[in-house]
Amino acid sequence: MTSAAEFTGVTQAYGDTVAVDNLNLQIEEGKLTTLLGPSGCGKTTTLRMLAGYITPSAGTITINGADATRLPPEKRNLGMVFQSYALFPHLTVADNVGFGLKLRKVPATKRRELVMANLDLVGLAHLADRKPKALSGGQQQRVALARAIAISPSLLLLDEPLSNLDARLRVQMRSEIRRIQGETGLTVVLVTHDQEEALEMSDTMVVMRAGKVMQTGAPATVFTTPANRFVADFLGYENFLTQSDGSLLTVRPEHLRVTAAGVEPATTGLTVSAVVRESVYRGVDHIVTMTAADASGTPITLVSTTRRDTLTADAGFQPGDLVTAQARDHEIVRLTSDN
Amino acid sequence: MKGRPILGTLAVLGYIIMIVPILFVVSTAFTAGDALTFPPQGVSLRWFGEALAYQPFVGALLSSLQLAVVSTALALLLGVPVTLAIQRGKIPGKSLVEGLFLSPLVVPELVVGLALYQQIMIGLHQTSFVALLVGHTVLLLPYAVRVTGASLALADPAVEEAARGLGASPLRTFFSVTLPLLRPGIFSAGLLSFVTSFNNVPLSLLLQSRQFRTLPVTMLDYVQQSYDPMIAAMSTLILAGTVVIAIVAEKTLGFAKIFGGINK
């Protein structure tokens, strides 16, 4: 693989706080890489170091093979889209998009052409002469995207670009960004705390925690084989069961089936006796919360959201019911490490 | 104000207390008589004519305008970079620097005036215009720093970062992004500074000279000698000028936006 950018031993510390800790990461050319993790995991710091807004305390960053560790942002030729959009409020949409082109001394007619082409790409050519204030949040976001792409950047950096949009628009913009990435062939780095967004959009996802990379891989790989409890937890796994040999199993709540105690168990897989604590009706399914014990006898909480076969208003289980929770072999994920 | 009788009454009372004395001054300015009495005797513009023909007033008005314009320009030229350094720069002891530039707000103007009198006029043998210029600039600095600071604090730093990312050098970013963002703040700081300098009495009183005297000082002097409607006419002219400035400010930016910054 060819790297569009590479982090080698990069650390960023503010006083005693280490935001990014000895990071080694390769951003593959022409692909969409997401940095995923909870707030404070170092994902935004990583992106800002790549953009040149923060200088690493240690380590090197290369862009297209050249050392860029201490290069100021204006010399990196990267397109950045900010969470707050950060459009220039005193300039029209067209002048916003043309800002970088003007600095590159692109002649006026050619510039106008490129501006319109990029606005076309995001479907906003008809708003070229408006001021940003007159645009909706979603439209402002598209202008920010067009502005970043217009300079033909070597990488497109997106810092939580969808988090200020409403839910419906957010889902729409995900495929929109994917489409634009496909059409332009750009290398994209996206920062997000939304696992669904990362799974849906990434070629490669990088899950981070406390300044370190926990796991890197294709969405399907990371989702089906999380490296450790943190990644599993972040991707929505629940039901962590320590085995007698000390290893850890996990089952997604939608894979854990609950039946009344005494019903014939599945031939292979996991079978645990439990007591229902709560059962909440949610339309398509129930959330059944149970108390059980793992191999060492420590009390654990199990959660099941398996769909019922028929739609029924019946609450299913009552608190105190004795039940059996089951999962089949292929639904059980064995975690290799417990950090 | 419905359903809030006490608040309503207080508001009306407040307006009366503020406006009635002004109405007295304005109405007596239009008197046709010779005395500064209320109610005025007849209506005429005679005292306006007299005020504008009275050489000490006209000379002092020009001096005041000159001083206010130059000291406002100086305060902005010094204050805007200081604001940027305080808010965006990485300087040690930021709060100390900020405190230093806001300190003229708490140091008594008489003390500043006396110090400038001793050092600049006596010590360095400079004219009272130079001393007044230094004094007023120092007096206006806190307004320049605070008001532009308030508008800079509201500006999203990511906007400047975006400009850098698109290829603009720090200097280019300042002129094509930061300065336009600050324009309303600088405009209101300038307006406020101008009015503050124009109305100042303590510094202008201490640092006056035969050659250079501001309008408020000259008027104060005049009132002590003679008490006629000309002073009311001059006051009314100043009031009219202030109202024009207020209308311009309201039309271009809105009052709340301009003066909101100071109360924070």
Cβ atoms of A188 and A33 within 8 Å: the answer is yes
Q: How far is CA A135 from CA A143, B71, B205, B257, in A?
A: 9, 41, 53, 22
The burial class, CB within 10 Å (0-12 / 13-18 / 19+), for A116 is middle
> A74–B161: do the CB atoms touch at under 8 Å?
no
Per the omega criterion (within 30 degrees of 0), is the bond before B39 cis? yes
> B158–A89: do the CB atoms touch at under 8 Å?
no
Can you tell me the distance from the alpha carbon of A314 to that of A256, in angstroms, rounded to the nearest whole number?
19
**Does the CB of A115 have a partner CB in chain B at under 8 Å?**
no
Q: How far is CA B13 from CA B8, B9, B150, in A?
A: 9, 6, 32
Cβ atoms of A76 and A63 within 8 Å: the answer is yes
Q: How confident is the model at residue B1 (pLDDT cuts 50, 70, 90)?
A: very low
Over the Cα atoms of chain A, what is R_g?
A: 24
Distance from CA of B258 to the nearest CA of A (A): 18
Can you tell me the distance from the alpha carbon of B176 to that of A295, in angstroms, rounded to the nearest whole number?
66
Coil vs helix vs strand at B171: helix
Picking from A79, A82, A89, the nearest residue to B158 by CB comes out as A82
pLDDT at B109: 78
Average pLDDT over residues B86-113: 76
What's the token pair of residue A141?
A: 């976001």
Picking from A52, A76, A103, the nearest residue to B168 by CB comes out as A103
**Cβ neighbour number for residue A29 with a 10 Å cutoff:** 16
Task: Tell which residue, A166, A118, A126, has the closest CA to residue A145.
Answer: A118
ipTM computed for the complex: 0.84
Residues in chain A within 8 Å Cβ distance of B164 = 52-53, 72-74
Task: Provide CATH code, domain A237-335.
Answer: 2.40.50.140
- Structure-model confidence comparison of residues B95 and A235, the more confident one: A235
The CATH 3.40.50.300 domain(s) of chain A lie at 3-227
Can you tell me the distance from the alpha carbon of A98 to that of A151, in angstroms, rounded to the nearest whole number?
8
> B166–A89: do the CB atoms touch at under 8 Å?
no
pLDDT at B256: 59
pLDDT at B85: 83
End-to-end CA distance of chain A: 29
Residues in chain A within 8 Å Cβ distance of B172 = 103
Q: How far is CA A159 from CA A269, B208, B219, B243, in A?
A: 42, 59, 61, 47
E strand residue ranges, A45-193: 58-63, 66-67, 78-81, 155-159, 188-192
Domain A3-227 has CATH 3.50.50.60: no
A64: region left, alpha or beta (phi > 0 left; psi from -120 to 50 alpha): left
What's the token pair of residue A205?
A: 């996802």
- Structure-model confidence comparison of residues B154 and B73, the more confident one: B73
For the sheet containing A333-335, what is the strand order?
Answer: A238-242, A248-251, A333-335
Cβ atoms of A201 and A32 within 8 Å: the answer is yes
Under DSSP, the state recorded for B120 is: I
What's the token pair of residue B40?
A: 């005025």
> B161–A86: do the CB atoms touch at under 8 Å?
yes
Cβ atoms of B134 and B120 within 8 Å: the answer is yes
Q: How confident is the model at residue B69 (pLDDT cuts 50, 70, 90)?
A: very high
Task: Tell which residue, A1, A149, A155, A150, has the closest CA to residue A63.
Answer: A155
Picking from A78, A87, A90, the nearest residue to B165 by CB comes out as A78
Task: Tell which residue, A148, A131, A188, has the closest CA to residue B164.
Answer: A148
Can you tell me the distance from the alpha carbon of B209 to that of B215, in angstroms, rounded to the nearest whole number?
13
Backbone angles phi, psi at A9, to 5 degrees: 55, 40
Chain B, nearest residue to A150 by Cα:
B166
Average pLDDT over residues B97-107: 75
End-to-end CA distance of chain B: 26
The CATH 2.40.50.140 domain(s) of chain A lie at 237-335
> A84–B156: do the CB atoms touch at under 8 Å?
yes
pLDDT at B152: 83
pLDDT of B264 over the 50 cut: no
H or E stretch covering A251? strand A248-251
A246 Cβ contact list (under 8 Å, min separation 6): none
Residues in chain B within 8 Å Cβ distance of A74 = 164-169
pLDDT, averaged per 10 consecutive residues of chain A (339 residues), comes to 88 88 93 93 94 94 92 94 93 95 93 94 92 92 94 94 86 90 93 93 94 94 92 90 84 87 72 88 82 79 73 66 87 76
pLDDT of B245 over the 50 cut: yes
**Does the CB of A100 have a partner CB in chain B at under 8 Å?**
yes
**Does the CB of A111 have a partner CB in chain B at under 8 Å?**
no
* Range ranked top by mean pLDDT from A1-15, A179-193, B33-47, B208-222: A179-193
Task: Enumerate domains of chain B plus CATH numbers.
Answer: 45-263 (1.10.3720.10)
Residues in chain A within 8 Å Cβ distance of B181 = 89-90
Q: How far is CA A327 from CA A201, A257, A269, A281, A332, in A?
A: 29, 6, 6, 21, 7
Under DSSP, the state recorded for A265 is: P
Chain A, nearest residue to B158 by Cα:
A86
> A103–B181: do the CB atoms touch at under 8 Å?
no
Mutate to test the interface with A, among B166, B174, B182 (most CBs of A within 10 A): B166
pTM, full prediction: 0.79
**Does the CB of A221 have a partner CB in chain B at under 8 Å?**
no
Distance from CA of A288 to the nearest CA of B (A): 45
